[in-house]
Amino acid sequence: MKFFIDTASLSEIQEAYDLGVLDGVTTNPSLMAKEGIGGKENIFNHYKAICNIVDNNVSAEVIATDLENILREGRELAKIDDKIVVKVPMIKEGVKAIKQLSSEDIRINCTLIFNAGQAIIAAKAGASYVSPFLGRLDDISMDGLALIQQMVRIFDNYGFETEILAASIRNNLHLIHCAEMGADVATCPLSVIMGLLKHPLTDSGLEKFIADYHKVNSEAVPV
């Protein structure tokens, strides 16, 4: 399973990268706005700065909703760096753009997926990734994890190469269930990635090991 971090914060991306388990980054216009990044030049420079931190897979979202401008923006974003994956929304013009841009070897992440039908269309159009937003489905009392399971089954039936990128992940259980179900990628905030490390028995166990060591060793912990 690939781990992406869902943020536009350079310090958070660096912290996750330093852990050694990060495979990519997803951003969206809301996350860019949260970091105060506005204006085309600043936005493009920020994507480049993200690409300079990680090894691959930096999702950068188009703003346009008409075909001509989705294509233009998509091509411009893809030129920033080979690591860029262009994020295109699940709308009719977006599907046409996915078909065209993927034929130009531009990798696409189709975003704002909320049902399996949308995922099938995006996969058939040639998206490299489809992003079901499971937390937002949970928010409206629908079962986000059930969608992941359904998508995994459908994609397996037909051997689709498109990867299922579970998005809008809010907690560790979401991530673990996605892994159980076979999602190819999970994108989540830094707090969820770091939360995976934690268990109170790990902390208390380590504290006791160190205390017991000091009972019979007066010198500091060996280097």
Positions touching ligand E4P (CB under 6 A) are 6, 26, 28, 111, 131, 133, 135-136, 167-168, 187
At closest approach, how far in Å is the CB of 139 from ligand E4P? 8
At closest approach, how far in Å is the CB of 24 from ligand E4P? 11
CB closer to ligand E4P out of 27 and 102: 27
CB closer to ligand E4P out of 102 and 131: 131
CB closer to ligand E4P out of 26 and 57: 26
DSSP tag of 196: T
At closest approach, how far in Å is the CB of 58 from ligand E4P? 12
> Is residue 53 classed exposed, middle or buried when 0-12, 13-18 and 19+ CB atoms within 10 A define those classes?
middle
CB atoms within 10 A of CB 105: 7
Cα 109-92-29 angle, rounded to 5 deg? 45
- Interatomic CA distance for residues 222 and 131, integer angstroms: 47
Task: For residue 87, indicate whether it is catalytic.
Answer: yes
Query: Of 79, 87, 99, 198, which is the active-site residue?
Result: 87
The number of CA neighbours under 13 Å toward the Cβ of 183 is 29
- In the chain, the amino acid numbered 180 is E
Residues involved in catalysis? 87
